[in-house]
Structure 1
């Protein structure tokens, strides 16, 4: 009887201590420099920026904190590996924006989810932030996307996610991974000396309209990182362009965004003008892969993009074993062991497999 009482008392004490620890306030700084203090580590988070949900889950190692995400994030989960690794994300609501194509929050719908924290885009005007704060909801801000993108901002967004979830150690691992790949790229170019820069066009959209990304986009960051030249430099973040303008640029390589799920290589090859481009004639049109998240967007998976594009842009300099990098990277990011057919799916072997230089990504 005494033993049973002692065990119960010990269990209750453990619960009390655990609850006390869980309820400790946390303070962190968002990407705009705003300091937030929450009464406890947030257990119910709503994310409005597209990459936020995937980034939080990757840092946290689980998905149960996310109670709302926007429809673009939800599509990325459904079309990529995130929905496979974390199948419970299929039940997360995505009706949290007041309008399609914008970032105005549906405050009533968000408040109904009883979030401990809402993550919203910063530096895009107070009109998309103030309604949330006026409703008494704590709001942390990310920066990037349509406001421009840099590697520094990508890292800052990840850092905020790590502070929110208490995963600074994992954040340090992901930064070390980024630094390692960047270092290998830098060393490769240093050893090679002067190299010819392939002229690269990234199309954010290629089906309903042609939208190219410019020098203020994160796409420009990785194009230059792998020794390429962005033919659309001068457009700012992005801009609508004509087929005639693309013909004038005549890029060596064309990248189609993973975010535009219904646009395949036919967007270029079936077009009477675009099919005449050097990139098309040489088979250097590629649909960007999608892993846990979209590879042509700034995210925790960006090193995969750098290695993928380096192999395609400079096959004489770089031969990253991307299949092994994916196996190792998914263990680090998601504690998940990829199957070979899943690697094929991520790399879009079926769609891109016959394009120039893509055989390096095939299973051996």
Structure 2
């Protein structure tokens, strides 16, 4: 979703409603699409005495040594920090939705200490619980860069790194660069980006080598309590097209607007998608669609090609350190006769 056009607090609150939440509901373009200008993109520089980082507000903060106590409020930040650091020892607390993702995914199994950490540091809409955060005495707090979210923390004397989100893989690269620098491990950001770039090139090569277009794939960010589909300018639209599929929500009969757009089942019936993806932003499962009489005539239902997007080290819907796994998984879903070595790639990641 284009959060430069909308208030991020309002946009992201939609994604955490119902407690089954995740960060950044699949949003924005990436990879092969032109990148929107992002002011204050992250840069980091280090020397033997200090670490200076310019956050995505354009504000520079300096640490005298690598940080050891980090509180994260944006939902993707906790898992990304652990992935870069190789453990949860330097994570002090996180947003509850981040904690839920760790509990329900593999991250909490790999790093059980993370599940013991406080996760009451912010409300659903990312408003910080300043007293809870101060009690942890963090070296730095990671927060969305909206002034109303940062100001209470800085007014309390806390050091804040502000993040912005445009729904692109480049967001992950920028955050990783900041996190790796402040942890004293800048090489980790370089490593992650190189790996991601390699996998992106592989997926593009596979798609370019196919003789025909892939199936129509509809991504539903919400199923329970009202349908929402990934329309124009979403990360989900990007990866559907990346693997060689088509997105009916941006095709000949597109949904109006950008981001996650509401629709009714009659529109889905009209599109008749061949594959339906259920996002990790509510509790819907394929069986919920299979058992609903209204959906029985849709191609994806008749061929049993309804899938819930995986939750690994983090949810695979939005851009993250595991996005290449989402690209390969979706490629396998779209083209089952040419499956990749996904299990091996998961183990590698």
Q: TM-score range by the shorter chain?
A: 0.7 to 0.9
- Larger deviation: 275-284 or 86-95? 275-284
State the match for 2:82 in structure 1. 57
Question: Where do 4+ consecutive residues of structure 1 move more than 4 Å?
Answer: none
Q: CA deviation at 1:139?
A: 1.0
Q: CA deviation at 1:159?
A: 1.9
SS of the residue aligned with 1:232? helix
CA distance in 2, matches of 1:90, 1:163: 25
| Inter-CA distance 158–218: structure 2 relative to 1 (3 Å threshold) | farther
State the match for 1:8 in structure 2. none
SS of the residue aligned with 2:319? coil
Q: CA deviation at 1:53?
A: 0.5
Match of residue 204, structure 2, among 186, 189, 204: 186
State the match for 2:27 in structure 1. none
User: How many residues of Structure 1 are paired with residues of Structure 2 in the alignment?
Assistant: 299
Who wins on radius of gyration, i.e. which is larger? 1
State the match for 2:139 in structure 1. 116
**Quick one: higher RCO (CA 8 Å, sep 6+), 1 or 2?**
2
Contact 1:23 1:39 (8 Å CA) reproduced? no
For structure 2, the 5+ residue unaligned runs are 1-46, 251-255
Write out aligned runs for 1:115-154 (5 A): 115-122=138-145, 125-144=146-165, 148-154=166-172
| Inter-CA distance 23–172: structure 2 relative to 1 (3 Å threshold) | closer
- Larger helix share, 1 or 2: 1
Match of residue 217, structure 1, among 227, 234, 240: 234
SS of the residue aligned with 2:53? strand
Q: Taking structure 1 as the reference length, what is the TM-score of the superposition?
A: 0.77
- Larger deviation: 134-143 or 84-93? 134-143
Contact 1:69 1:93 (8 Å CA) reproduced? yes
Write out aligned runs for 1:1-364 (5 A): 24-97=49-122, 99-100=123-124, 102-122=125-145, 125-144=146-165, 148-192=166-210, 195-233=212-250, 234-260=256-282, 262-316=283-337, 318-329=338-349
CA distance in 2, matches of 1:226, 1:265: 22
CA distance in 2, matches of 1:34, 1:270: 52
- State the Cα RMSD in Å: 2.1
Q: CA deviation at 1:23?
A: 10
Contact 1:56 1:165 (8 Å CA) reproduced? no
Which digits, 9 at most, give the CA deviation of each residue in 1:74-126, with x for residues without a partner? 110000111100011111111111x33x121111211121111111123xx32
CA distance in 2, matches of 1:23, 1:67: 25
Q: CA deviation at 1:48?
A: 0.7
Contact 2:167 2:318 (8 Å CA) reproduced? no
